[in-house]
Amino acid sequence: MRIKGLFKRDPAAAAAQALYAQVVEQARRPGFYRDLGVPDTLDGRFDMIVLHAFLVLHRLKAEGEAQGPVGQALFDLMFADMDASLRELGVGDLSVGKKVKQMATGFYGRVAAYEEGLAAQGASGGASGGASGDDALVGALRRNLYGTTAADPGHVAAMAGYVRRQAAALAGQPVAALTGGAVRFAAPEGVA
């Protein structure tokens, strides 16, 4: 009986693996890079993964689940993948830990900025609240997602709209589906 328990798969880890695969798939959509000017670089791709992981964790947080087993497993899996990716890129073993720590610090900063941006947008009345409602979110995206390039204001505004729509779409999805490993990302408007 005890031996059987050793081979039991952790449902939170399985759900996180499925969620992470969907996060990465959405973050790699070519239209973000081609049509919305997201830098097609290591930093740009990292930021797209962080943005989509944030959106999933933001939804889980709304239900008090972000720090639950699935949210934690998603976070752990994302940074294990970052560690493996750095190693594949030839970063030395002694530097990987430091770089992953810097990435985690960056992740937390981005999460705080995106949370503030969504909250400010919501507090000002959303899309009907005018441009001022998007200032915090646009600023967060400009500093982070577009931080390594001179971003076209139209691209940043379009990405802010995408983030708002995505957060709203995820809010409509049952948390049980997310904690079960299923997330439905909406296609970005005007992006192939």
Asked whether residue 87 is domain-assigned, the answer is: yes
Residue given tokens 């959405």 in the structure block: 26
Which tokens hold the place of 55?
């959106």
On whether the CB atoms of residues 86 and 65 are closer than 8 A, the answer is no
Asked whether residue 5 is domain-assigned, the answer is: no
Residue 117 domain boundaries = 10-179
Summarised one tens digit per residue, pLDDT across range 134-149 is 899 999 999 999 998 9
Asked whether residue 156 is domain-assigned, the answer is: yes
Strongest mean pLDDT among 72-86, 87-101, 127-141: 72-86
Q: How confident is the model at residue 179 (pLDDT cuts 50, 70, 90)?
A: very high
Question: Taking the model in full, what pTM does it have?
Answer: 0.85
Give the closest residue to 173 by CA, choosing from 162, 185, 188. 185
Structurally, the chain folds into a number of domains equal to 1
Asked whether residue 31 is domain-assigned, the answer is: yes
Asked whether residue 186 is domain-assigned, the answer is: no
Asked whether residue 185 is domain-assigned, the answer is: no
